[in-house]
Structures are given as structure tokens and as C-alpha cells.
Structure 1
Amino acid sequence: MQSYQEMSKEELLQEKASLEAAYKSYAQSGLKLDMSRGKPSAEQLDISMGMMDVLNSNTDLSCEDGTDCRNYGVLDGIQEAKVLLGDMIECHPDNIIIYGNSSLNIMYDCIARSMTHGVMGNTPWCKLDKVKFLCPVPGYDRHFAITEYFGIEMINVPMLPTGPDMDMVEELVSKDEAIKGIWCVPKYSNPQGITYSDETVRRFARLKPAAKDFRIYWDNAYGVHHLYDIDQDSLIEILAECKRAGNPDMVYKFCSTSKISFPGSGVAAIATSANNLEDIKKQMKVATIGHDKVNQLRHVRFFKDIHGMEEHMKKHAAILRPKFEMIINTFNEELAGREVGSWIAPKGGYFISFEALEGCAKAIVAKAKKAGVTMTPAGAPYPYGKDPKDSTIRIAPSYPTIEDLKKATDIFVTCVKLVSIEKILESK
């Protein structure tokens, strides 16, 4: 396939005319497709419907230890749920607090608590002149929205094929006491699908931050979200690694069943050291009597154990895998060799990240929207929505049907080609 960079001006104009005709046809087809967020499809939600049948008015809602899940109490969650989610994220149940349905809510609470009351006796962040956070980019827009909401200065750290640029992370945290944390999606990262290498995880565990209250916000959102049964990424368990390195308190590890059971009514948790748990519970005792234990029990009775969850995730993979493969195959067939962008074929997670030519992402997303395909706003995977190169586009394949997704991918590829040609023609 000939590179657009090597084509003559005349060849490019001829190609552009052909693409514009195809684009016009797409724009007139009436397609209205919103793939701006990584929502599970109705087909995925259907495989969890059995969860609605495991409890009824005749069910014994008592835990193994006799706890009545209908009543008050058990601030940190029922033991069975701790075991299930502990197995899911490879942590001991004693290191876990079970919350409501949203891990993002737990992250927000951790930032808010740090702002108002500090971390384990340290100065509340709101009393400091400056608070900073490291943000691996491209990354998760909702992470960045939390720190932006609290007025925390965000510093971009480039993502490498092995994870965040650890040379930069080590340099920054060791010298600047104002840096209080770093956002991480360590497995099948949002949006690139990168899994942190063993060496990256070990370097995280060995960090020597200037701030005593520095924390790694380890959002293990896609820990069991593989696309393949055998060809899977693996990730070193960070809490154990930090303990070995003499930094037991440095990590908050988050997880949820949002993309496993039901996004609006799953179960979320935090795993961390005993010292951090004690600090967190001081706030929880004031904020709540306890979270939804009936829902925790419902999840345990449905999945039974980690093996049941793994089998359930194979059903998700069977639905998602054809969608991811169709997009990657289309990119390989239509864009490989054109020198108009790059992409990674992830082995799990919920997104594909496309790196367009510099200065083209916003134009591609806008053009796709005019043809009926709404994507994540260009710039969203960066703090403040500002992609310095205007090149990263997040693709969320999960929600549309495979038929609609095929149309959307064809439109996207056409938009990439058109905008890229226009960019190249500027320099001809």
C-alpha cells in the first residue's frame, strides 16, 4: 500500500476526490451512533441477568458468619465479597474495604479526604500552597476530571510500551514535595491497552517520594478483562511488591465489577495497607453506616468464586473480541503503509487508541461526527482536555452492534484518510 507521504500532489488530489465521494455517501446514510464512552452493550448486560434471580423474598440473606445483610452494620463489607474481589485483584481479604457500585467514587473520596483531612496525619492538602499530580498520558479522562475539580495541578508523563516513563516519574517525585500522587491504569490501560511491565511495577514499588503522603492511585479497572483465553497480559501485584520494597503504605488499589456485572449496580472496593485502611475508616464511620450488603451477597451468590467470575468474563470476551478484531483488521487493511497514524492491538480492556498525524485528531473526530459517528472528544485522554500534539483518538468498540461498528469504522478510516491528505497537501 502506497504511503500518502510519498504520493505526488496530483495523486493525493485524485485520492481525495474519491474519498470525498465516499464520505458524502456515508454522511447521507443517516447513521446516528454514539461510541463516545466504553459502555457494555445490551448483549453483555444480558449475560448478568441471572444475578436478578439468585435472591428473592424466600432467600436466606445471612452471611456465613451469621451477618444479616438486610440490616445496618459491617462498615467495610461482608467477608464473602472481600474474598471474591480479593481473588479478582490478587489481594488478601484483610486488606480490602467493599464500597458501593463505583470505584471512581472511591477515588474521588480519597482525593477529597486528602484535601480536607490529610493522609495519615499529614497536612491537609487544602492548607498547602500547591498540590500536584502526575498523569500518564494518554490516560483516563475521568481521573483527570477529579484532580482538576479540586484545583490540583496535573503534570503529563508520557506512556511508553512498558507503562509510564519511569525515569521521569522517579525524577519528579523524588524532588518535588508538592507531588502527592499519580494516576495509573496498570493493566490494559485506558485508552492504549498497555499493561505495565514487571520492571515498571517494581520501579513504582521502589519510588522514594519527597512527600510522605504520596500515593499511587492504582486503578485496576481491567484486571480480568481479557479478550483471549490464552494470549493474556499479566501484571505483578503492586501491594505485595511495595511491602517487599519497604513502602507498604504507598498504594491505593481500586477495582469494581462495573464492566463485569452491571455498571450501575456493581460492587467496588479499595485494597491497601492496614495503616491506610485505618485512616480511611475514620472518614467512613462518619460518612456511612455501611454499603449495600444485599448487593454484595447477590454478587457472591451469582459468581460463587473467582472461577465463576473467570468463566463469566469469557462470555464478555466472546462478545467483545470480534469487535476489536474487526477494527484492527480494518486498520491493517486500509491504513497500514499509508503513514497516517499508528495503533496498538490490545489483548484486553475496553479501548483502542489511534495516534493520528500531529494536528489532525480534532478534525478527524469532527468529520466523523458530521457523518453520524460521535466519538470521545479529541484531547479527552489528556489533562484539561489539551492534547499537545492533537493526535490521540480513543475508540470505544463495546456498545455498538458489530454491524453498526463496521459502518462506524469505515467512516472513521475515511475521515482519517481525508484529514491526513489535507494535512500532507499543506506541505506540498
Structure 2
Amino acid sequence: MTTELSADALSGLLERARKDYQDLAGRGLSLNLTRGKPAPEQLDLSADLLSLPAGRHTAADGTDVRNYGGLQGLPEIREIFAEVLQVPVGQLLAAGNSSLELMHDCLVHALLSVLPGAESRWVDQERIAFLCPVPGYDRHFALCERFGIEMIPVPMTAEGPDMAVVERLVAEDPAVKGIWCVPKYSNPDGVCYSDATVARLAAMSTAAPDFRIFWDNAYAAHHLTDEPVEIADLLAACAEAGNPDRAFVFGSTSKITAAGAGVAFFGSSPANVEWLLGNNAKRSIGPDKVNQLRHAMFLRDADGVRAHMERQRALLQPKFEMVARILEAELGGTGLARWTDPKGGYFVTLEVPDGCAKEVVRRAAEAGIVLTPAGATHPYGDDPRDATIRIAPSYPGLTELEQAIEGLAVCVRLVGYEQQAA
């Protein structure tokens, strides 16, 4: 990545970078790019939710949404998201506001009860491991750490996880029980899984009969361009390959409507749905059906979701374009950085020279720009190369975002040239 420089040229660039950093630190900034939260303006797009269901309390099937019951969720909200998430309505479950909560519960239930196709509970087995494509989502890794599940990093490619590595690991090790996947506009590098990758995941031979793909389709409708990316239907591919129980599909409205008051979804085979509903019946008498009804009334249908997400895109796209423009202007041609240009999702991945990410994040924090900790994109917080930084452009306003990315570029130049001069 690094461009060769003469001693004089490097000295001049380092001197300028030090001056720019001194100026940056003197500005008294207080900026935060740590999490991919929707901005207030995005949340305002769903303000009408707060006035719904406007006196109505009966679902389409006659259910009184104020009362107990309906563990699978309202049919009308499941009908809307069946198309979005590529899951048949009868195999889709609508729950509370958090898909992460559903992932947590699926892990707990797999540990404490026997999955369809399993020989025993996971907790009764000596060792449990998950494959973790990297860079990846830190909250997936946190769940594994919470339950003592070993994490095995797998490199990401432009088409998804390196399937040669995945296929070898799942075939030879019966302790490998699952893989984390964010298949569309993945967190954090924006990769979309190719049809070939989906087919191989569905059909591969696994040593564990109860292997599960945790398919976190968090950005199913979160496009940033005029050319929305579509991915292959994993659930259908698994059924066709003779592995109908392999996929757990997750999604939510968290970055569609109200991030803290949305609806989460679980989709899978009939056997897996029955398994989850049976276990959930021990912990709940039903989800928040009032919220599900208001979401169904607000979004109306899958076309309504798409129209709403176009309004979201109008707010997000300029921010991502600004990030790309500043990084190119400040770091293009320096050899100090590479970055992604995602077609959707919520993140940009910045790659700096090996051994520099933690120091860039530290220098940025000292200048008032808080970033996601370096290493968060890898299991156990350990990026072996210390090179990956996740940028979350969604929450700040344009002016704040401009200041933050310009400041980040200053830190990259400072740390990068210091490393070269050392």
C-alpha cells in the first residue's frame, strides 16, 4: 500500500502532517463516528408511527392486538417483510424490536435445547465454534464471547467469505456449528454475497449435522445507488440442496423506521420455526402486536418499504459521497489508505498501513474525533494486521461529518508518515 518516498519528500510531508494535526487538536472538536445509528432526520421520516394505530386495535385476522397471544406475530407485518427478507410468510416470525435479541435467543436455545437434526444440546458438547468472516460485526463476536463459543476468523472476498476456507473448516471439524453472515452490504465493508457463494453455503458438506448459518440480513432494503443489489434466496437454496434446516434468517426495521422501537424477524424451515416458537413460549406470551400493527399500517406493503427507503437514501447518500470525496482528496495517491465505496448499508471500511489503525484511532480521539475501536471488526478485538478502521457516517450532520473525515485523514497521514520515518 505504501508509496516509496525520498528522505526529503517524506520529511516535508511529515512536517506538514504534524502542523495539520496541531491545528486539528486546537479546534476543540467533539465528534463521534462510533456506531451506525440513524440520524434524527432519518427517524423523523417515521414520525407518523407515533400517532398510529389511531384508535384501531384489531388486526386483519381479527386479533385484538392489545391482548396476549400471537407468538408468531401479525400476519400483515409478516406479509410485508416476507418479500424483503426472502422468507415464505408461514415460515417468518415477527417479534420485538431487536434482531440481535433473536440471535441471542437462538444461541441460548441451541445451547440448552436440541436443535432439529442435532444429536445433543450444544452445552453438552466439549467444544463449540463459529466461523467469523472478517472484517465483521462486533456484536456477533460479543455474543460468541458471552457464551464461550470459539471464534475462527475467515477472510472476506469481493463475493463473501472465502468459501474454500469455509468448506474445509466445516467439513473437517464437527465442533464448527455455525457461521455469521451479513450477506447484503455487509458490516463493515459493504460486500454483497454472490449467487455462487450462497449456493456453496447451502450445499456444502458439514461434519456437524446441526450446523446453522446465522444470516443477518440487516441491510436488505438499505440501498445507496440507483442499482439495488439483490442476493440469492438462501432459504430456498438450502431446501433445494437437501439442507432445509441450515439457515436462520434475521432482519428488522431498526434502520428502516424507529431504531429503538421497530419489529424484528426470524425466518427458517418449518422445523426450525416450530423449535423457536416452542422455546419462546416459555419466555413470552406474545410480542408487541400494537407496534407490529402500527408498522403494517405505516409501511402498507413491500412497495411501501421501498418508497420509504428511497427517502432514507436521500438523506444517507450525500454523506457517503462526502466521505469518498474527502478521502480521495486527502489520501488518494498517498499510498496510506484504501477504502470501500459501498452500494448500500451503513459503513465504510478504511484500511491503513499495517500496525497503524490503533494509533490512528488514538490520535483521532485526542483531537476530539471518537471512532470505533481498532480491532472491533475482528474476533476478540484482535485485528492481526492492525489495519482496519470502521467509519459510520450516518448519524452526524454533513458539517460535522466533513470535519470528522477531514480530521481522520490528517491522523492517517500523520501516523503513516511517522511509521515510514521511524
Alignment TM-score, normalising by the size of structure 2 = 0.98
Q: How far off is 1:90 after superposition?
A: 2.1
- The letter of the residue matching 1:46 is D
Structure 2 counterpart of 1:151, from 124, 138, 148:
148
1:323 partnered with 2:319: yes
Contact 1:214-1:250 within 8 A present in 2 as well: yes
- The letter of the residue matching 1:76 is Q
Contact 1:257-1:263 within 8 A present in 2 as well: yes
Q: Which residue of 2 aligns with 1:111?
A: 107
Q: Which residue of 2 aligns with 1:174?
A: 171
1:261 partnered with 2:243: no
- The letter of the residue matching 1:268 is A
Q: Deviations over 1:94-138 (max 9, x none)?
A: 011111000000000011111111312531111111111000000
Separation (CA, whole Å) in 1 of partners of 2:161 and 2:296: 35
Q: Which residue of 2 aligns with 1:37?
A: 35
1:197 partnered with 2:183: no
Structure 1 counterpart of 2:17, from 10, 16, 19:
19
Q: Deviations over 1:226-263 (max 9, x none)?
A: 012x2222211100111111111100000000000111
Q: Which residue of 2 aligns with 1:366?
A: 362
1:250 partnered with 2:254: no
- The letter of the residue matching 1:39 is K
Identical amino acids, percent of aligned pairs:
46
Q: Deviations over 1:200-250 (max 9, x none)?
A: 11111111111011000000000100012x222221110011111111110
Q: How far off is 1:29 after superposition?
A: 0.9
Q: How far off is 1:6 after superposition?
A: 2.1
What's the secondary structure of 1:266's corresponding residue? coil
Q: Which residue of 1 aligns with 2:65?
A: 69
What's the secondary structure of 1:324's corresponding residue? helix
Q: Which residue of 1 aligns with 2:3?
A: 5
Separation (CA, whole Å) in 2 of partners of 1:285 and 1:335: 54
Q: How far off is 1:4 after superposition?
A: 6.2
Q: Which residue of 2 aligns with 1:219?
A: 216
Q: How far off is 1:5 after superposition?
A: 2.6
Q: 1:303-342 alignment to 2 at 5 Å?
A: 303-342=299-338
What's the secondary structure of 2:281's corresponding residue? helix
RMSD: 1.1
Q: How far off is 1:318 after superposition?
A: 0.6
Separation (CA, whole Å) in 2 of partners of 1:179 and 1:225: 31
- The letter of the residue matching 1:258 is S
Runs of 5+ in structure 1 lacking a partner? none
Deviates more, 1:164-173 or 1:18-27: 18-27
What's the secondary structure of 2:305's corresponding residue? helix
Contact 1:32-1:372 within 8 A present in 2 as well: yes
Separation (CA, whole Å) in 2 of partners of 1:29 and 1:354: 24
Separation (CA, whole Å) in 2 of partners of 1:231 and 1:20: 41
What's the secondary structure of 1:133's corresponding residue? strand
Contact 2:86-2:235 within 8 A present in 1 as well: no
1:88 partnered with 2:68: no
Separation (CA, whole Å) in 2 of partners of 1:301 and 1:417: 50
- The letter of the residue matching 2:171 is S
Q: How many positions carry a matched residue from both structures?
A: 421
Q: Which residue of 1 aligns with 2:294?
A: 298
Contact 1:4-1:421 within 8 A present in 2 as well: no
1:388 partnered with 2:402: no
Separation (CA, whole Å) in 2 of partners of 1:134 and 1:397: 28
What's the secondary structure of 1:6's corresponding residue? coil
CA 1:93/1:4 → structure 2, altered by over 3 Å: closer, same or farther? closer
Separation (CA, whole Å) in 1 of partners of 2:114 and 2:28: 53
Q: Deviations over 1:136-157 (max 9, x none)?
A: 0000000000011101110000
Q: Which residue of 1 aligns with 2:274?
A: 278
CA 1:278/1:407 → structure 2, altered by over 3 Å: closer, same or farther? same
Separation (CA, whole Å) in 2 of partners of 1:208 and 1:74: 37
Contact 1:239-1:251 within 8 A present in 2 as well: yes
Q: Deviations over 1:46-66 (max 9, x none)?
A: 11101112323xx22111111
- The letter of the residue matching 2:16 is S
Contact 1:5-1:424 within 8 A present in 2 as well: no
- The letter of the residue matching 2:317 is R
Alignment TM-score, normalising by the size of structure 1 = 0.97
Contact 1:365-1:377 within 8 A present in 2 as well: yes
Q: How far off is 1:73 after superposition?
A: 0.8
- The letter of the residue matching 1:187 is K
Q: Deviations over 1:276-326 (max 9, x none)?
A: 111111111111100000000000000111111111101111111011011
1:423 partnered with 2:416: no
Contact 2:188-2:347 within 8 A present in 1 as well: yes
Contact 2:34-2:392 within 8 A present in 1 as well: yes
- The letter of the residue matching 2:282 is V
